[in-house]
Amino acid sequence: METSRLEAFADGVFAIAATLLIIDVTANAPGAELGAALLHAWPEYAAYAVSFVTIGIMWVNHHACMNQIGRANRTFLFANIALLACIAFVPFPTRLVAEHVRDDGARAAALAYGLTLTATAICFQAFWFYAAAGRRLIAEHADQRTVSGISRAFLPGVPVYAGATLVALWNPQAAVALFAAIAIFYVVESSLFGRG
Amino acid sequence: METSRLEAFADGVFAIAATLLIIDVTANAPGAELGAALLHAWPEYAAYAVSFVTIGIMWVNHHACMNQIGRANRTFLFANIALLACIAFVPFPTRLVAEHVRDDGARAAALAYGLTLTATAICFQAFWFYAAAGRRLIAEHADQRTVSGISRAFLPGVPVYAGATLVALWNPQAAVALFAAIAIFYVVESSLFGRG
Amino acid sequence: METSRLEAFADGVFAIAATLLIIDVTANAPGAELGAALLHAWPEYAAYAVSFVTIGIMWVNHHACMNQIGRANRTFLFANIALLACIAFVPFPTRLVAEHVRDDGARAAALAYGLTLTATAICFQAFWFYAAAGRRLIAEHADQRTVSGISRAFLPGVPVYAGATLVALWNPQAAVALFAAIAIFYVVESSLFGRG
Amino acid sequence: METSRLEAFADGVFAIAATLLIIDVTANAPGAELGAALLHAWPEYAAYAVSFVTIGIMWVNHHACMNQIGRANRTFLFANIALLACIAFVPFPTRLVAEHVRDDGARAAALAYGLTLTATAICFQAFWFYAAAGRRLIAEHADQRTVSGISRAFLPGVPVYAGATLVALWNPQAAVALFAAIAIFYVVESSLFGRG
């Protein structure tokens, strides 16, 4: 079974999940003058940007994985679907964080965001290690050093997101700042070190 | 007429229908504390997961069918459009079930969900058997045993979904559990037996 | 300039416009029992089906045109964008018709639907005849009889939709029935006569 | 790293951002007769058309850039994601302009629209000049005159949109007319001079 339609379906879900984020940017502030409402709504733009970039990072990683993978079986198709279900879920906790980061729902919202990203990281590891274990689905031509490099790069994902989620129990705003910092760190780091 | 644009259009509809499911996850509970509202909304997450996986299964099956199909004609294009119209309809009854599974709209919601999936299964059979009958649209290279295997695998679809829909008349919550069980069974079974 | 990305973009817009139709299926009937509300909402399902199939027909036609077209220039890209803007607009009058076909907004809703489809038919003709005139963008290998056949098939589009729109001035429900009949006629006719 | 999945992801975001614009066309005018409400809502249709065409122009330009680009690295992937995040943001200020162009929120709405398009133009320049500088990611076969022509064509983008945004401080309706005029000018000019 070849992987091109898997990539087409995945690209569709990544693109739609990222683009749907804009539906939840509303700047609703009943009674306020529009300019003031737009300035007050800055957490909505920040949440949009962080989630868009986070989904973008995951798309880049999916891309990097699929470059090494030469075939698919049914288990792998379902691992991919579970991963995509997590990614398509991201707009929901994004909306919660944007709406509640400044009120007493901040802890619940940050926990929901963190749990979603932690679950996504777990599914991403399952997706990759299922394919990479014993080169089960790895393409013939793939260089084992690249495959091992991706495996090493995946290891910090779950503990980093789980850690940031635990921070939300203690200080939700700090956890939200951490989610943003993780996204920025990843972009900067991979631009500095990952130059093609 | 070749099938690549048919697949691109279908992949788009599958990906969008699955990803749009998140729009209906809202955790609205006016007056409740956010954490409590998020816990109370668990049927929304369960409905999201079951429908996402169900659409994913259908995408895998569509993929499996199209691997055997070598060409398309206009009748087949419209059979495909009817199938996609059913799949793109799934977010509506999903929302109904998520909202009403715990109130007195449960029966109507479960019936709507079941009728949608039964109609989808009927369209899927029409889509496949139109192409497979007398190998009308089957690719030259396709192995007849694979084609017959897909035909056999399709047979239980309509009775299973129609049966679960009938259960909704008697016990809607049991029917909803059945819809979830069918999705889980399919994933587990095809992962155990369908290993590529 | 080759046409593959034009097709990818068009397929995306067709697939999204069709799939977004489900957002407007809501079965809102405040105070009613859910089962009764779902039955009462039948015009929403009918409008969904007619618009989904209508967009599907346009996708099939776009597909048929692009099979004959071998290259694109900037004018053609913008003709395509104008056509896609019309198609992506269809969910709006669909929602109007579904909501208002039984109240005193029926005339305005049917006119909006008819004007949208008439504008779409005009853009479709411009799109095709720009490419086909003097074989400006037609592929070398394309058979002139096929090209002329498509041109002939396009001619009734504008008068048919404009005529149905005029009917809406006199009887909006009859016009809505006509829009449904046109879609059904097209599917049946092209399945009977267009067999590949 | 090859560019085909980058294009698939980008095409998805462009297509979805453009198609999502229809969600915000609502013609809500409580208490008004539907026909009157539909006529009154003309700024919603105009805003839809201008933003759809503007996103379409950007898609054509992205297409023109990618035709010259032969490979991608991680920095370029993230430049592309930043650009797509701007484009997917366009539906939000479009909705603001459509709703507020005739009330006292017009200035804030026009500024939000202008700032979004200016940010998009900046990201587009970064995206292109990162790839084009020293032919870093330009394909071997690409003609340097075409590459330089694209570079020259990009130069007016930022000042034109920044200028129109400044006009919004003084006269928001004039700025909105300018945004429409820029889109129309671009389509006409590139159709007249850019004939393939």
Domain ranges of chain C: 4-193
Residue B194 has pLDDT above 60, yes or no: no
Which residue's structure tokens are 């980093």? A160
Asked if A144 has any chain D CB less than 8 Å from its own CB, the reply is no
The stretch C151-170 carries a mean pLDDT of 92
pLDDT at site B73:
87
Closest CA to D160 of D173, D179, D147: D179
More confident residue, B2 or C9: C9
Confidence of residue D65 (pLDDT cuts 50, 70, 90): very high
pLDDT at site D194:
46
Residue B159 has pLDDT above 70, yes or no: yes
Q: How many interface pairs between C and D have CB atoms less than 8 angstroms apart? A: 102
Residue C76 has pLDDT above 80, yes or no: yes
Residue D175 has pLDDT above 80, yes or no: yes
Exposure pattern of B147-179 as b/e (b: 16+ CB <10 Å)?
beebeeebeebbebbeebbebbeeebeebbbbb
Residues 64-93 in C contacting D (C-alpha not used; CB under 8 Å): 71-78, 81-82, 84-85, 88-89, 91-92
The answer to whether the Cβ–Cβ distance between B72 and C27 falls below 8 Å is: no
**pLDDT tens, C6-17?**
888 899 999 999
**pLDDT tens, C171-185?**
999 999 999 999 988
8 Å CB contact between C56 and C49:
no
pLDDT at site B196:
40
The stretch D13-35 carries a mean pLDDT of 89
Question: Environment class of residue A160 by beta-carbon count within 10 Å: exposed (0-12), middle (13-18) or buried (19+)?
Answer: middle
Q: How far is D152 from chain C (nearest CA, A)?
A: 18
8 Å CB contact between A65 and A45:
no
Task: Compute the radius of gyration of chain D from its Cα atoms.
Answer: 18
Of D7, D22, D23, the CB nearest to C5: D7
Residue B193 has pLDDT above 70, yes or no: no
What residue in D sits closest to C18 (Cα-Cα)?
D19
pLDDT at site A106:
93
Most distant CA pair in chain B: distance in Å?
Answer: 63
pLDDT at site B7:
86
Closest CA to C54 of C152, C165, C178: C178
Confidence of residue B186 (pLDDT cuts 50, 70, 90): confident
Asked if A109 has any chain B CB less than 8 Å from its own CB, the reply is yes
Most confident segment among A71-85, A107-121, B6-20, B59-73: A107-121
The stretch C107-117 carries a mean pLDDT of 95
Residue A149 has pLDDT above 60, yes or no: yes
**For chain C, percent helix, then strand, then coil, each to nearest 5?**
80, 0, 20
**pLDDT tens, B11-33?**
999 999 999 999 989 887 777 79
Q: How far is B120 from chain A (nearest CA, A)?
A: 20
DSSP-assigned letters across all residues of C122-143: HHHHHHHHHHHGGGSSB-TT--
Residues of chain B positioned with their CB less than 8 A from the CB of C30? none
pLDDT at site D1:
64
How far apart CA C173 and CA C178 sit, in angstroms, is 9
What residue in D sits closest to A61 (Cα-Cα)?
D74
Confidence of residue D130 (pLDDT cuts 50, 70, 90): very high
Strands (E), chain D: none
